[in-house]
Structure 1
């Protein structure tokens, strides 16, 4: 049963009015390129993307419960590398088996499933024609001691193409010492993926110990993540994945980069929807869709947190959510229900663009 607006309000609790009735007075919605059934025709057809990229983008936008809306619900399961398989799958060991990952995406009504070369390759002949595959080609490997934070290539673009993938995904740790190499590697990979007809999705993350300053985490600031998004769309990512902002003023607090007072007074505010809208604005005013990550699973509060994230993304002008641990670290039936709840926010016409 779909989430009603009353149920959404109940899950938002004391924040319901603040989130559902907020009017954005920074960048008006009329200036944005918003998701819709015609998004591929309206935005990507005039671009330099070739016909095969358009076909794969259309396949993603026309799969699952959000088909035909212009919104995306993607299941990402690369945590076996990014966070260790034991830590990721201990809450539900069924997901050590790649087939269950793909089944969760299909039965959960997702537009696509994103995972590693090994996971998707293990079941590609059975499922690659049933749901769009997004092959994540680089990862942060955490078995090296002491740990280091670097995204390195685990796969190449041709391997993704050979298994019938619709898209490739990759992470760049903007702000890290290795970011220049990562930008060059992934720019080249995205160029080749487009030539072969696959879409491209960038995890545009920040990573630098200095971004945690005086008790605040500026990895989650609107100004710094917004600039990461802008760099990502410049690399011709077709979709940007970004953590939802929780504060602002990273550049000013850390005293680096280039800023302008209007970034903080006119282009955004302290409201979570306005902070996320600034991320959308940096994605070429929404020409490249912003999907926010679902974050770690915390247990009983996961459903409410997922719905909150979805409401903020949609009202800001974003394109959807990419939520993994909240879904796969619980029994499949409950994971499906959580994914469906996220999708219901984007299907609910009473949750409007602010």
Structure 2
């Protein structure tokens, strides 16, 4: 039987040596607050988070296969609204039934399940005590034509609390024309969620047509996503969800904002782990956990892509992965296996912080 690290190396393929042996020389590991069994103690016990918020966060950190490690594996399924239900669930129609989303998170050993008001509310009494709920409180409504990209509230924070949520999740489209309003709305929602004893998770996405040029898409640039993260922790997100950085130089190349040459030649390199570390340091040097998204399903390469993302996130100092489509757009058992291989990266003592 192939052991855990050998299976991970097999999925990494030709990039295994580069990803597993890289040493980060930009911001060194001794400057970071790293995930661990005492993560909540190190970060939040001296904060203004209430005892009830700490209990809610602990319920997430201590659940599932990664429980007690300081790392997180979360199943997010909000694509039925964000990408249309038909396009999201056509590959596996069983997930039109939201109970199966919860079942996948449980069988997959996840720390929590993040999905919509309707899906969680419909099954709250059966499952709220079996796995922590994260209610996504706003969405991009995709039925308007022509498309209008905005995040609007789909329910109240109080209702999320009523159905037993451990945390609320929200998205802000940083860089968009609507960003200022969204920042104010989500800030108020997070304040109320903390007041009711729930944790807060922010989907920190950049969105602006000017961020995509003929030859490069800067929506995943380390500097732009890092700044989005930094605004996110400023409005008191307890966790930041962000896409894995694939490039850098958004501010510099698009010639806006304010920059310093050290952002590009001292705080980051082109190595994927160093780019992700820039996201981590933007989260108050790792005090607020970075969970990277798993991305779209690519079919046969999903397992390899998921392992690569998890290795980069962990070695950069991140807190985990929040992966949905790669898991639920395939047969149930394969979805469980994919979630488990992600978790194996964080359980492996052979994979250390770079």
TM-score range, shorter-chain basis? over 0.9
Q: Which residue of 2 aligns with 1:340?
A: 340
Using the size of structure 2 for normalisation, the TM-score is 0.99
Q: Which residue of 2 aligns with 1:76?
A: 76
Aligned partner of residue 213 in structure 1, secondary structure: coil
1:278 correspondence with 2:278: yes
Matches within 5 A, 1:250-269: 250-269=250-269
- Cα RMSD (Å): 0.8
Deviations 1:199-228 (Å, cap 9, x if unpaired)?
Answer: 000000000000001320100100000000
1:226 correspondence with 2:245: no
Matches within 5 A, 1:55-66: 55-66=55-66
Aligned counterparts of 2:327 and 2:175: Cα–Cα separation in 1: 30
Displacement of 1:251 in angstroms is 0.5
1:134 correspondence with 2:134: yes
Aligned counterparts of 1:214 and 1:249: Cα–Cα separation in 2: 15
User: Would the aligned equivalents of 1:223 and 1:248 in 2 still touch at CA under 8 Å?
Assistant: yes
What are the ranges of 5 or more consecutive residues in structure 1 without an aligned counterpart? none
Displacement of 1:313 in angstroms is 0.1
Q: Which residue of 2 aligns with 1:121?
A: 121
Q: Which residue of 1 aligns with 2:205?
A: 205
Using the size of structure 1 for normalisation, the TM-score is 0.99
Displacement of 1:14 in angstroms is 1.0
Aligned partner of residue 338 in structure 1, secondary structure: helix
Aligned counterparts of 1:319 and 1:163: Cα–Cα separation in 2: 26
Alpha-carbon spacing, 1:3–1:326, altered in 2? closer, same or farther (3 Å): farther
Displacement of 1:27 in angstroms is 0.3
Aligned counterparts of 1:228 and 1:351: Cα–Cα separation in 2: 28
Aligned counterparts of 1:91 and 1:213: Cα–Cα separation in 2: 31
Aligned partner of residue 203 in structure 1, secondary structure: strand
Q: Which residue of 2 aligns with 1:91?
A: 91
Aligned partner of residue 286 in structure 1, secondary structure: coil
Alpha-carbon spacing, 1:223–1:63, altered in 2? closer, same or farther (3 Å): same
Q: Which residue of 2 aligns with 1:15?
A: 15
What are the ranges of 5 or more consecutive residues in structure 2 without an aligned counterpart? none
Task: Count residues with an aligned counterpart.
Answer: 354
Q: Which residue of 1 aligns with 2:321?
A: 321
User: Would the aligned equivalents of 1:2 and 1:344 in 2 still touch at CA under 8 Å?
Assistant: no
Q: Which residue of 2 aligns with 1:196?
A: 196
Displacement of 1:155 in angstroms is 1.1
Aligned counterparts of 1:90 and 1:73: Cα–Cα separation in 2: 24
Q: Which residue of 2 aligns with 1:311?
A: 311
Q: Which residue of 2 aligns with 1:146?
A: 146
Displacement of 1:3 in angstroms is 5.5
Q: Which residue of 2 aligns with 1:176?
A: 176
Aligned partner of residue 290 in structure 2, secondary structure: strand
Aligned counterparts of 2:150 and 2:3: Cα–Cα separation in 1: 40
Deviations 1:98-154 (Å, cap 9, x if unpaired)?
Answer: 110000000000000000000100100100111000000000011000011100000
Aligned counterparts of 1:302 and 1:277: Cα–Cα separation in 2: 23
Q: Which residue of 2 aligns with 1:295?
A: 295
